Amino acid sequence: MSSKAPKFLDDVLLRCRNAGLRRTRALEAVLQSLVSSNKPLTLAHVAESPELKNSCDKATVYRLLTRLEHHGIIRRLGLHDRSAYYSMIFPGHHDDYLICTECGVIEKLDLACPVEKLEAQISRESGFRKLYHELEFFGVCPACG
Ligand SMILES: [Zn+2]
Ligand SMILES: [Zn+2]
């Protein structure tokens, strides 16, 4: 876990409270596993984390993830339910992704964000503020050929 994770977790818990989410051990554990991961996690990954494996069933974890997504605290990536990934939304930070349409594997794009300039331009021209974006590129990964 990175050293900034605990502080960030407090931030996230505050955002949850402001969104009216009840602070439960399960909610904390779900957030903990997402905050301390440096890549998006599947429902199975989260549900099988040590804090949740014995205390919480998958359906509960799924409900929590859905609620967090609904409140804009995490985001969901991927094509369909069975290969959905979840990741924290860090204010002022984002990643762009590459997703395989065959097996659902997901990779962070290893390059500088290609559309930040475009985003600034759109903001100038439209008058919209606080713009953000999430890019997902879809294709077939090398393993799926
Ligand atoms: Zn694949
Ligand atoms: Zn980007």
pTM score > 0.95 for this model?
no
Backbone angles phi, psi at 87, to 5 degrees: -145, 155
Q: In angstroms, what is the span from residue 85 Cα to ligand 1's centroid?
A: 15
Select from 4, 101, 21 the least CA-distant residue to 69: 21
Domain shared by 9 and 75, yes or no: yes
Ligand nearest to the Cα of 100, by number: 1
Side-chain-side CA neighbours of residue 9 (13 Å) = 18
Ligand nearest to the Cα of 143, by number: 1
- Please tell me the total count of domains within the chain: 2
Domain shared by 73 and 107, yes or no: no
Domain shared by 13 and 49, yes or no: yes
For residue 144, being part of any structural domain is answered with: no
Q: In angstroms, what is the span from residue 51 Cα to ligand 2's centroid?
A: 32
Q: What is the pLDDT of residues 11-60, one digit of tens each?
A: 899 999 999 999 999 999 999 999 988 789 999 999 999 889 988 899 99
Domain hosting 128: range is 97-139
Q: Average pLDDT, whole number, for the chain? A: 88
Domain shared by 26 and 75, yes or no: yes
For residue 12, being part of any structural domain is answered with: yes
For residue 145, being part of any structural domain is answered with: no
For residue 71, being part of any structural domain is answered with: yes
Ligand nearest to the Cα of 113, by number: 2
Domain CATH number, residue 79: 1.10.10.10
Q: In angstroms, what is the span from residue 41 Cα to ligand 1's centroid?
A: 16
Q: What is the pLDDT of residues 80-124, one digit of tens each?
A: 766 789 998 887 788 899 989 888 888 889 888 889 899 999 999
